[in-house]
Chains A and B, each alone.
Chain A
Amino acid sequence: AQSVTQLDSHVSVSEGTPVLLRCNYSSSYSPSLFWYVQHPNKGLQLLLKYTSAATLVKGINGFEAEFKKSETSFHLTKPSAHMSDAAEYFCVARGTANQAGTALIFGKGTTLSVSS
């Protein structure tokens, strides 16, 4: 069964320093992968998505992620954190279209804290 593991439940950084949120997936085939962000009392917002095109994916707000099949990883990075980046981040996987499962599979989330 497909699964997503977010390696850190909480990451704390200072404003202006790099952000790294780690995600590993378990799958026997190349999945579609997403990163979503959830601010308090707001809906989930798509940051970026990987769908078997370029392995380095650029998203909104300066975030990017690199798909590494050999490591089954899809880590999220940002060169310089901003206070407004503080939120919950979810790594999400989905199988290919001809697979029976249509659901998105969420990791447990990583809380990003940004201090001034």
Chain B
Amino acid sequence: GAGVSQSPRYKVAKRGQDVALRCDPISGHVSLFWYQQALGQGPEFLTYFQNEAQLDKSGLPSDRFFAERPEGSVSTLKIQRTQQEDSAVYLCASSLEEGFSYGYTFGSGTRLTVV
């Protein structure tokens, strides 16, 4: 597609429920990032993929967070046993290469609310 697509757009989860957030990057983009944006804050890095390889997961806040990109295109961010502090907008970004000069294209995000 023309841009980075994320689904669902909104997700309400009961505390303790597992959720899966999907990111469809721009076709052919090698790099894929996940960010978490809490209300009133700037996005914070969660994890980075180069093709199917997860090269950096240092930003994942706990072992309840898991991300995968098995075929080097679509990525899924999974949160197990959601807690209220997980409520945030989850942003996905992709880039043509592992090269900063190309910049990054962001999706519109998934707004997760844990009740």
Contacts and interface: CB of A to CB of B under 8 A. Distances in A.
A54 interface: no
Given A103-B48, A104-B104, A43 B4 contact: yes
A44 B98 contact: no
B33 A104 contact: yes
A104 B33 CA distance: 9
A101 to B, nearest CB: 8
Given A32-B101, A102-B55, 18 more contacts: A42-B108, A43-B4, A43-B91, A44-B91, A44-B106, A46-B103, A51-B101, A90-B42, A96-B100, A103-B33, A103-B56, A104-B33, A104-B35, A104-B93, A104-B104, A105-B45, A106-B35, A109-B41
Interface of B: 3-4, 31, 33, 35, 40-45, 48, 55-56, 58-59, 91, 93, 98-101, 103-109
A54 to B, nearest CB: 13
A108 interface: yes
Contacts, number: 61
Chain A interface residue number, banded:
20 to 34
Nearest to B106: A44
Contacts of B3: 43
A94 B100 contact: yes
Interface in A75-116: 90, 94, 96-97, 101-109
A106 B98 contact: no
A25 interface: no
A36 B93 CA distance: 13
Contact of A102 (B35, B48, B108): B48
A108 B40 CA distance: 8
A107 B42 contact: yes
Contacts of A34: 103
Contact of A43 (B31, B58, B101, B106): B106
